[in-house]
Each structure stands twice: as C-alpha cells, then as structure tokens.
Chains A and B, each alone.
Chain A
Amino acid sequence: MAEASLRMAPRPPGAVSALRERLFGSRRQGLLTVVAGFALAWVAWQLVRWAVLDAVGPGGTSQACAAASGACWAIVGEKWRLILFGTYPLEEQWRAMLASGLMLAGAALSGIPRLWSARLAAFWAVLLGLVLVLMAGGVAGLPEVGTNAWGGLPLTLILFCCTVTTGLPLAILLALGRRSDMPVVRAICVTLIEVIRGVPLIAVLFMASLIIPLFLPTDLTVDKLLRAQIGMTLFFGAYAAEVVRGGLQAIGTGQYDAADALGLGYWSKMRLVVLPQALTHVLPALMNDILRAFKNTTFVSIVGLFDILGATKTAIADPNWIKYAPEAYIFILVVFLLFCTAMSAYGQWLERRLEHADKL
C-alpha cells in the first residue's frame, strides 16, 4: 500500500514539460515562439548558406572566392601566419609560439586562487623577462629580432600581460595615494587618475608616443613598443585604481584600528590587513577591467604597432584579398571571443565563489 501511494504522489514537472510551458504556456507565448522561431530559423539558414554551403574553405584560392557567392575563408588559410605572428621571421616562429604558450600557461596558473600570494609578482617578473629575452634574442645563440618585427598574437599577449602586471601595482599605489592623509600626495593621485579617465585611450597612447620623446633628452630614444606600453599601463592603472579604492572604502575602520593596536606600521598594515581583504572584495570588478585591458590591446594598431589587429590590416592590404576583409576580421573576432568568453566565465565563477564565501 505504502508503495502504491508513493507511486501516486504528484511528480515534479520534468524538464520537457517545463520547457513546453515556457514556450507555449499561453496563446501569446505560443504565437511569440512561432514568430521568433521562424525569424531565427531564417537568419540561421542564411548564415549557414553564406558561411558554409556557398563558402570557399581555407584551402581555396582568391579566384574561387570571386566566383563563389558565400564567405571566403581562403583568406584565413592564406594569411593566418601573418595575422597570428606578424612579420616575425618564419624560421624563428617557434620562439613566438613558445612565448605565447608561456604567457597563456602563466595566465592560467594565475587564475588558481590557492596560488595567490606575493610570490605571484616574482613569478610574473621572471616569466615576462624570459618571454622578452625569447622574443628579442641576441643571447644563447638566438638571432636578434627587433621589436618592429614583433606582431600578431604574441605581441597582443605581451601587451596584455605587461599592462596587467605593471598596472595593478600602479593602481594600488594610486588608490592608496588617493585615500592618503597627505594633501600633496592626494592631489597628485587625484589629478593623474581623473585626467587619464577623462580622455580616450587613443589620446593617452598618442600622447605617450608623441610627447614622451619631447620630454626626454634629444639623444635618448624610447622604443615604440615601450612607449605604447607606458600609455596602456597608465590607462589601466587609472581605471583599476578606482576599483581598488572602492574595495578600500568597503573595509571597516575596525580593521585599521585593530592593525594599529597590533603596532603595525602603514605599509605592514596595508600589506597584511587591508589590501588582502580589499582586493578579494573587488576581484570580479577588477576582472572586468582586466578583460577590457585585453580588448584594448587592439588600440595600439592605431599608433602603428602590429598586434593581432594591426597584423590583420597588413594582411588585407594585399590587393588580391582586400575584398575579403570582413572574413579576416570575423576570424580575429572569433579569436577574441574565445579568449574573452573564457575570461568572463572565470570572472563569473570568481563572483559566485566570493558570494559563497560571504555567506559562510
């Protein structure tokens, strides 16, 4: 009997019936579903026709593309090396690949919360040093490659990694300075943050590449890449400083008082008590800024560097292929989409983890 009554108990709605309820629950919903479904199916069919059925694959030629009515993926097959590695010498390309792999591995390792400590900074200093030596060469029998030949994905990754690793310390210093009791220090930090946040990134990059040479002795030249890097770091630092400031403001005065009572000095208080809590608190917001820094690396193509976008522009300058520029841009849009979706998913994971920690 007991068994029978158990079997009689109403079952919770299954996934299929819940979906049916949401799709066709009412007459209005049903109509909406049918209309939207048809529109979507039509768009999807057109896309499939353009991108797959009528398209020329990566192995095709530009003549085949001219005859076809669909997409021309042959430009990707023809130019992928230029797009991904720029004009880096072909026989040295393994160095660019290895450098990219090292940075990607480093970034993946840095995402593991258990490894977060001050040692991470030292790890990145060593890693980036290694990457730069590997790319530049001139030691250990590696032929020298000037920064003007660096390009594509390795350059994008170098700019991104250097921006975050140098920009974060700058952001922390600026945020601490903005909350300092000393009016002079505060004024310097506020001016720097607000001016940089008030102008476009291109303006900052442009200033860095035009003005820095004017401000230095005439016989001292600074590498173009380094100038762009300074601009990227300042821009990221100013934005991230405001995020860090938000975290600092969220720390109760009790924490400061407790640290003072323990007799800690200013820097120990910040390093051991305040910053670890403040940074954990704003990690998701900081992750957004880091994601934006990755997308912003493309801006350096405007000041004449060959990051992945700059290299693509060079690739489509070829008169045989110039008509198929949209396909080449779709290729790099997909590359960015992969990286950025991974980062944004990681950011959401961090946010959930933080919420969970708050509830404990």
Chain B
Amino acid sequence: MLYNKAWRAIAYQLLAMTLVIGTGVYVVLNLQDALAARNIATGFGFLLQPAGFAIGETLLPFNSTDAFWRAYAVGITNTLFVSALAIVGATVVGVAVAFMRLSRNPLLSGVGRAYVEGFRNTPQLVQVIFWYALVTRLPHPRNPFVPVEGVLVSNRGLYLPAPAEQGAWFWALIAACLGLLLALAYLRHGERRRHETGRVRRLWPGMVLLVLVPPLLAWWLVGAPTAWVRPELQGFRVVGGFVFSPEFIALFLGLSLYIAAFIAEIVRAGLNAVSQGQREAARALGLKAWQIQRLVVVPQALRVIVPPATAQYVSLVKNSSLGVAIGYPELFNVNNTILTLSGHVLEAIAIMMAVYLSISLAVSAMMNAYNRSVQVQER
C-alpha cells in the first residue's frame, strides 16, 4: 500500500490539509491572546462610527464627523481617480515613445531608447518621491508661474480655471459619454451593414454629430452657463478654480511615466509583430496609408499588445498605493489612518485587500473580454 501512487497522493493531501488547518488553529489561538492582551476590538460595526479625522483631498464631500465607511469611499475614489488619469497618461506617453523608438531617425529613436532605459531601470517609488521633491521646488503661490492666463503653477499645486456651475457641466459630461457610446454603436452598425451589403458609406459625419450634439444639448438644456472662475491669489492662498495638489501631481507623474516605459516596449513589440508582408499586401490592395494602419496593422498588433498591457495597468492601479509615501489620500493611505484610529487592524486590512483584489480582478476581466473581441475569428 505504501508504494501505491493513489494512496500516497491521499496521504500527502491529508498531510497538507493537517498542516494548513493546524497552522490556522495555532494562529487563531495566538490571535485571540494577542487581541485580548492589546485590547483590540473586533467586528465591522466600527464602519458606522464617526471617523474623527479629516482628509485633505476629496472628490466626495467628507468631514471628520462622517462615518468610517465614507472615509473608505473617499480613499477608493481617490485611488480610482489618480489611476484612471495615470492610465490615460501612460498610454499616450507610451505610444508616443514607441513610435519614436520605431522611427528611422536616429535622433528620435535614441531619445525613445533613453526614455525607456531610464524609467525602467530605476525604482518607481524613488521616482514618485523625486517628483514630489521637485514639485516642492516650484515657486511660492505668492509668485506663481503663469504659463497661460488663468493657470497658476506653484508649490501648492496646479490651479486651473473651473466652470462656475459645476452641476451643469456634470450633466454635459454624462451626455458626452453617452454620445461617445452611441457613436461607437453607430460605427459597429455601419461596418456590419458594409459587410452585408458591400456598399461603402461615409460614417464619420454621423459619428461627429453623435459625439457633439448630446453634450451641447444637455448644456443648453440646463441654461447654457458660460461663467468660469479663475484661480486668484488672496493673501497667502489661491482661491477659486480647480486644483491638482502637489501630492496628486507627483503620484500621477510617478505612475504614468514609469508605466509608459513598459507600455512603449509592449506597443513596439506589438507593431513589430505584424509582418511586413501584411503591409505590402494592404498596399497592393490599394489601401491608403491611414487605412493600412487602421484596418490591417493596428487590429493585428492589438492582439499582441492587450494581454501584457493589461498586466501593466493592473500593476499601475496597485502601485497607486505608493501615494502613502508622499501623503496622497488614496485607499492604502486612508486605510492606514483608519487602522490606527479605530484599532480594528484585522478588519481594516481585510477590507483593503478585498478592494485591491476586486479592482485587479475587474480590470483583468474587462481586458479579457476586450481581448476575446479582438481575437482571430477562425472560420
């Protein structure tokens, strides 16, 4: 029986299970002692109690009498906000650097290469802290740098003009998102019609209309507000307008510029993976240069690009937790404060891990769905 493979497998698994359960019991017993000794409370009831601390930078309204769960909501929205903007930034910079590296011009390809090597071969955390130190070197708000009228750059942040009635612009933004979705649906529908009927119709006028009309209509419906508030110096502080804090700017730069170096390499590899024959064949069919890119090169390159790029975006979202090093109130940072103030160490860590896990899994799931839609359809 000792030499029977199946029996041995069962014995190994029993052993593994015993080890895991044994460690679990040992840990829980110790945990109970530790919690009792340190007077640490347990349970999730604390989420409804007032937080008792303020958060410097919030997208949702928050003050110290609000409950702990609202503090989590603020941290999560900040994490999502900085990550979303940084993903856009990383993609734009990454694609630009990839095209520079692919350029035949040695000056451009040299700059692209230097960018990739420099940003990839230094730690992201040092980059974030370096940007933060650099932002604090900017001029004092009393004597700000003004690149364009109404924009103030100082060591207290980047101040931009903001619309006076933000509610109206919110509806316009929602309408713009809707219009974009409609335009994409129209494009798909048009392409399907082309496949069915073989007739080529111009799609772009309809798409432009669909993108432009809904936000304009929404803006007009809420009373067509045109007033803008410019940031102005009053005494020692700047009042009015929209502000990006130094912490936000440093974290945004640290996240987007670092990941851009990896995105650039992924995009370059993806474009290189499309064989020259594909381009030649497309030219032989009489496609124009931009049609070759849009219809032949990009769809094939995307299949190579999307999976590794997804991994980079997930890594970007997780590393937004580096905000803790410079004091940007994202989830990890807020969680630290909550953990210290409430004393609910285990619950706080469990909530934080659950949120990061679900964000990672959600981004992966979205990208996997997209990936399926661009996969080769074998006939």
Contact: A298 with B126, CB < 8 Å?
yes
Give the docked Cα–Cα distance between A296 and B322 (Å): 12
Given A214-B35, A218-B33, decide whether A330 and B130 contact each other with a Cβ distance below 8 A: yes
Contact: A36 with B321, CB < 8 Å?
no
Give the docked Cα–Cα distance between A198 and B354 (Å): 9
Contact: A309 with B34, CB < 8 Å?
no
Contact: B17 with A37, CB < 8 Å?
no
Contacts of A198 in B (CB 8 A): 353, 356-357, 360-361
Contacts of B336 in A (CB 8 A): 206
**Which one of B105, B349, B356 contacts A200 once the chains associate, using CB atoms below 8 Å?**
B356
Stretch in contact with the other chain, from B113-121, B193-201, B275-283, B293-301 = B113-121
Distance in Å from the Cβ of B229 to the closest Cβ of chain A? 33
B253 contacts A by Cβ under 8 Å: no
Distance in Å from the Cβ of A294 to the closest Cβ of chain B? 8
**Which one of A29, A215, A326, A336 contacts B123 once the chains associate, using CB atoms below 8 Å?**
A336
Contact: B27 with A23, CB < 8 Å?
no
A184 contacts B by Cβ under 8 Å: yes
Give the docked Cα–Cα distance between A272 and B325 (Å): 46
Contacts of A197 in B (CB 8 A): 360
Stretch in contact with the other chain, from A62-70, A223-231, A337-345 = A337-345
Among B121, B319, B353, residue most surrounded by chain A Cβ atoms (within 10 Å)? B121
Contacts of B105 in A (CB 8 A): 22-23, 29, 32-33, 36
Contacts of B12 in A (CB 8 A): 182, 185
Distance in Å from the Cβ of B258 to the closest Cβ of chain A? 10
Contacts of A215 in B (CB 8 A): 27, 30-31, 34
Given A200-B318, A214-B35, decide whether A302 and B324 contact each other with a Cβ distance below 8 A: yes
Contact: A295 with B122, CB < 8 Å?
yes
B178 contacts A by Cβ under 8 Å: no
B164 contacts A by Cβ under 8 Å: no
Give the docked Cα–Cα distance between A23 and B16 (Å): 65
A202 contacts B by Cβ under 8 Å: yes
Contacts of A207 in B (CB 8 A): 349, 353
Contacts of B356 in A (CB 8 A): 198-200, 203
- In the complex, the chain A residue whose C-beta lies closest to that of B32 is A214
- In the complex, the chain A residue whose C-beta lies closest to that of B318 is A200
**Which one of B121, B129, B319, B349 contacts A341 once the chains associate, using CB atoms below 8 Å?**
B121
Contacts of A210 in B (CB 8 A): 345, 349
Give the docked Cα–Cα distance between A283 and B16 (Å): 30
Contact: A199 with B353, CB < 8 Å?
yes
**Which one of B33, B121, B127 contacts A340 once the chains associate, using CB atoms below 8 Å?**
B121
Contact: A217 with B33, CB < 8 Å?
yes
A40 contacts B by Cβ under 8 Å: yes
B107 contacts A by Cβ under 8 Å: yes
- Residues of chain B in range 17-63 having any CB-CB distance to chain A below 8 Å: 17, 20, 27, 30-31, 33-35, 37
Give the docked Cα–Cα distance between A329 and B129 (Å): 8
Name A's interface SS.
Answer: helix
Give the docked Cα–Cα distance between A329 and B104 (Å): 34
Contacts of A301 in B (CB 8 A): 125, 325
Contact: B123 with A19, CB < 8 Å?
no
**Which one of A36, A291, A325, A337 contacts B107 once the chains associate, using CB atoms below 8 Å?**
A36
- Write out, one digit per residue, whether chain A residues 187-217 have a CB within 8 A of any chain B CB (1) or not (0): 0100000010111111100110011011111
Contact: B123 with A203, CB < 8 Å?
no
Q: How many A residues touch B, CB cutoff 8 Å?
A: 56
- Write out, one digit per residue, whether chain A residues 153-185 have a CB within 8 A of any chain B CB (1) or not (0): 000000000000000000000000000011111
Contacts of A32 in B (CB 8 A): 105, 107-108
Contacts of A344 in B (CB 8 A): 117, 120-121
- In the complex, the chain B residue whose C-beta lies closest to that of A325 is B133
Give the docked Cα–Cα distance between A330 and B134 (Å): 11
Contact: B30 with A217, CB < 8 Å?
yes
Contact: B122 with A337, CB < 8 Å?
yes
- Write out, one digit per residue, whether chain B residues 169-187 have a CB within 8 A of any chain A CB (1) or not (0): 0000000000000000000
Contact: B106 with A298, CB < 8 Å?
no
Contact: A199 with B37, CB < 8 Å?
no
Distance in Å from the Cβ of B294 to the closest Cβ of chain A? 21
Given A188-B16, A298-B126, A329-B130, decide whether A22 and B37 contact each other with a Cβ distance below 8 A: no
Contacts of A33 in B (CB 8 A): 105, 107
- Residues of chain A in range 274-309 having any CB-CB distance to chain B below 8 Å: 291, 295-299, 301-302, 309
Contacts of B9 in A (CB 8 A): 181-182
B111 contacts A by Cβ under 8 Å: yes
Give the docked Cα–Cα distance between A344 and B262 (Å): 14
Give the docked Cα–Cα distance between A185 and B321 (Å): 32
Contacts of B31 in A (CB 8 A): 214-215
B13 contacts A by Cβ under 8 Å: yes
A98 contacts B by Cβ under 8 Å: no
Give the docked Cα–Cα distance between A226 and B129 (Å): 25
Contact: B106 with A19, CB < 8 Å?
yes
- In the complex, the chain A residue whose C-beta lies closest to that of B24 is A215
B352 contacts A by Cβ under 8 Å: yes
Given A184-B17, A215-B27, A333-B126, decide whether A202 and B107 contact each other with a Cβ distance below 8 A: no
Contact: A183 with B13, CB < 8 Å?
yes
B77 contacts A by Cβ under 8 Å: no
Distance in Å from the Cβ of B175 to the closest Cβ of chain A? 36
**Which one of A19, A182, A297, A326 contacts B130 once the chains associate, using CB atoms below 8 Å?**
A326
**Which one of A183, A185, A199 contacts B318 once the chains associate, using CB atoms below 8 Å?**
A199
A332 contacts B by Cβ under 8 Å: yes
Contacts of B349 in A (CB 8 A): 203, 206-207, 210-211
Give the docked Cα–Cα distance between A197 and B361 (Å): 11
Report A's interface with B, CB cutoff 8 A: 19, 22-23, 25, 29, 32-33, 36-37, 40, 181-185, 188, 195, 197-203, 206-207, 210-211, 213-218, 291, 295-299, 301-302, 309, 313, 323, 325-326, 329-330, 332-333, 336-337, 340-341, 344
Report B's interface with A, CB cutoff 8 A: 9, 12-13, 16-17, 20, 27, 30-31, 33-35, 37, 104-108, 111, 117-118, 120-127, 129-130, 133-134, 136-137, 318-319, 321-322, 324-325, 332, 336, 345-346, 349, 352-353, 356-357, 360-361
For the complex with contacts A198-B360, A291-B121, 8 further pairs of A-B residues with Cβ separation under 8 Å are A182-B16, A198-B357, A214-B34, A298-B125, A302-B324, A325-B136, A326-B134, A330-B130
